């Protein structure tokens, strides 16, 4: 009997994962990072989970793509050339059309000051790099339903 319980739990988890993948397939996620390695890692993690992924190398590249692509969730690196993550987040949140789009800051810094500064410019969450597939997907799942509800209201 003890063998049936784990197999039943596994089946339940597998079913839950399939439902999650189906739900995530409708989610458009933008990843803004000047590091090709970070962008590609995030892209692989997110695409393997069914998300549609938009990549941007910096804040200027992202702002041009946001108006065309309308992402549901945005991950943005803090330390980038030309337009840093704080400035990029602030510009996104000041735009009436995108102010409700969740913006999640990515950084190798884990200090209280950095987190507070992220909140001041309107970020919804702060993830420390290197991130795992699990932490990335948890953030997507947390904000996906909020983002969808907001876009349906508009």
Residue 54, in any domain of the structure: yes
The pTM for the full model equals: 0.81
Which tens digits make up the pLDDT trace of 42-94? 999 999 989 999 999 999 999 999 999 999 999 999 999 989 999 999 999 99
Question: Is pLDDT above 50 for 9?
Answer: no
Cβ–Cβ < 8 Å for 100, 9: no
Residue 59, in any domain of the structure: yes
Q: Alpha-carbon distance 151 to 57, whole Å?
A: 25
Cβ–Cβ < 8 Å for 58, 82: yes
Cβ–Cβ < 8 Å for 89, 103: yes
Q: At 111, is the pLDDT very low, low, confident or very high (cuts 50, 70, 90)?
A: confident
Across the range 136-143, mean pLDDT stands at: 90
Q: Phi and psi of 66, rounded to 5°?
A: -60, -45
Q: Alpha-carbon distance 32 to 54, whole Å?
A: 9
Residue in 20, 24, 29, 26 with CA at minimum distance from that of residue 102: 29
Instruction: List the domain range (segments joined by +) for residue 61.
Output: 25-149
Is 80 or 4 the better-scoring residue by pLDDT? 80
Q: At 31, is the pLDDT very low, low, confident or very high (cuts 50, 70, 90)?
A: very high
CATH of the domain at 109: 3.40.50.2300
Residue 18, in any domain of the structure: no
Q: Alpha-carbon distance 154 to 141, whole Å?
A: 21
Q: How many domains does the chain have?
A: 1
Residue 120, in any domain of the structure: yes
Average pLDDT, the chain: 83
Percent of the chain whose predicted confidence (pLDDT) is above 70: 79
Instruction: Name every residue whose Cβ is closer than 8 Å to that of residue 137 and which is 6 or more positions away in sequence.
Output: 24, 45, 46, 49
Which stretch of 1-10, 101-110, 114-123 has the lowest confidence by average pLDDT? 1-10
Residue 9, in any domain of the structure: no
Residue 78, in any domain of the structure: yes
């Amino acid at each position: 009997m003890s063998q049936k319980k784990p197999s039943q739990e596994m089946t339940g988890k597998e079913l839950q994962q399939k439902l999650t993948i189906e739900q995530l397939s409708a989610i458009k996620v933008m990843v803004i990072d000047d590091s090709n390695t970070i962008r590609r890692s995030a892209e692989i993690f997110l695409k393997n989970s069914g998300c549609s992924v938009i990549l941007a190398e910096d804040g200027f590249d992202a702002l041009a793509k946001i108006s065309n692509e309308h992402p549901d969730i945005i991950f943005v690196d803090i330390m980038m050339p030309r337009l840093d993550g704080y400035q990029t987040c602030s510009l996104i949140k000041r735009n009436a059309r995108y102010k409700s789009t969740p913006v999640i800051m990515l950084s190798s810094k884990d200090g209280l000051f950095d987190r507070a500064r992220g909140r001041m410019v309107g970020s919804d969450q702060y993830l420390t790099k290197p991130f795992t597939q699990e932490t990335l997907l948890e953030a997507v799942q947390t904000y996906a339903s909020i983002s969808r509800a907001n876009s349906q209201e508009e």
